[in-house]
Amino acid sequence: MKPTNYHTYNEIKSQPQAWAGALDMLARRRDEWLEFFSAGNFDSIILTGCGSMYYMPLAASVVWQELTKLPARALPGSETWLNPALIPASSRPLLISVSRSGTTTETVRATRAFGGKTATVSCYPESELPTVGDFNLLVTAGQETSVAQTRAFSTLYLATLTLAVFASGRDDLWRELQSLPALAEKLLTRYEPLAKDLGNDLSLDRFYFLGSGLRYGLACEVNLKMKEMTLTHSEPFHFLEYRHGPKSMITPSALVMGLLSDAQREQEEAVLKDMRLLGGRTLSIAESSADVELASGLSEIARSPLYLPVGQLIAFERSVAKGLNPDLPENLTAVVELA
């Protein structure tokens, strides 16, 4: 089959258009969001979701804390619902619940049970989640058909970043975010051949995804795409943590993908060098001087969604090369709903 016959491929490639649609919608909702956020006078932020929509809060919570200077933490929807003692104590918390479908049981129940103000971010207006929050953001541009999230993840991540940018009054970052669709288009065009080459290299039998700071949550998500779509051994780690045991898994058939930062790049590149010395292969993603160059000219926060598309494409290509169906991964459904 041609790549264009797969929903997953088309959803990955259409992310620039989805991001542009989301940014247009967010511009229209900005004043309403600022009124809600200002009236809440919040003293902490909790972000929650399940699966990919937990990894997204892992990344977004770092941004929220940096921009707003409020304590911010990510928790899985199940923990927020079943173990509320894990929620940091505060007098005016805000819970931000994210779900592609808007029907994920743990996320909906966590939102309903939360003792403070809630905001929801989801894709489908007919679902339950956008009826239970105090502020509800529908990002319909992120809707998709495939089971494994690609366009939905990046578009909801961008939306959640934008809410933090608005809340912090960072008009400079808002201007930067608006350049992302065009940059993503260029990135996908430039590195699709690389993704195809790596995806078709079935001599690779294990993948490791490294990231620190906000990039750790993104590494977790790209790892999940590889695991879901290709049924390949894959794991995510914080950069320097990879030396503490996991490097024992390095072989010539291992690929270590590093999502490099600016501030800690020297330390992070040293980890990749160590893995090459042990016989593994590496792939670096960074603003410049890397195997995949984002070439955005943006700050680290604003360019962070650009770390996702190439890894998504590699997973797609590997799935097809293995004779699997990337649109329908084994044993998975698009939504987990509990009785």
**DSSP states of 155-222:** HHHHHHHHHHHHHHT-HHHHHHHTTHHHHHHHHHHHHHHHHHHHHT-TT--EEEEEE-THHHHHHHHH
CATH of 3-177, picked from 1.10.10.10, 3.40.50.10490, 1.20.1250.30, 3.40.50.10420, is: 3.40.50.10490
Is the domain covering 180-321 a CATH 3.90.100.10 domain? no
Cα separation, 111 vs 83, whole angstroms: 13
pTM above 0.75, yes or no: yes
Ranges in the chain annotated CATH 3.40.50.10490: 3-177, 180-321
Residue owning tokens 């040293």: 270
Number of helices (H), then strands (E), belonging to the chain: the values are 12, 10
Determine the pLDDT at residue 305.
98
Task: Return left, alpha or beta for 279; rule: phi > 0 is left, psi -120 to 50 is alpha, else beta.
Answer: left
Determine the pLDDT at residue 148.
96
Strand partners, 210: 237, 258
Structure token pair of residue 294 = 């984002």
10-residue stretch averages of pLDDT, the chain, 339 residues long: 94 98 98 98 98 98 98 97 93 98 97 97 97 98 97 98 98 98 98 98 98 98 98 98 97 98 97 98 98 98 98 98 94 73
Q: Is 251 helix (H, G, I), strand (E, B) or coil?
A: coil
Cα separation, 49 vs 79, whole angstroms: 10
What are the phi and psi torsion angles at 104 (to 5°)? -60, 120
Length of the chain: 339
- Which residues have C-beta within 8 Å of that of residue 146, sequence separation ≥ 6? 6, 7, 8, 11, 326, 327, 328, 334
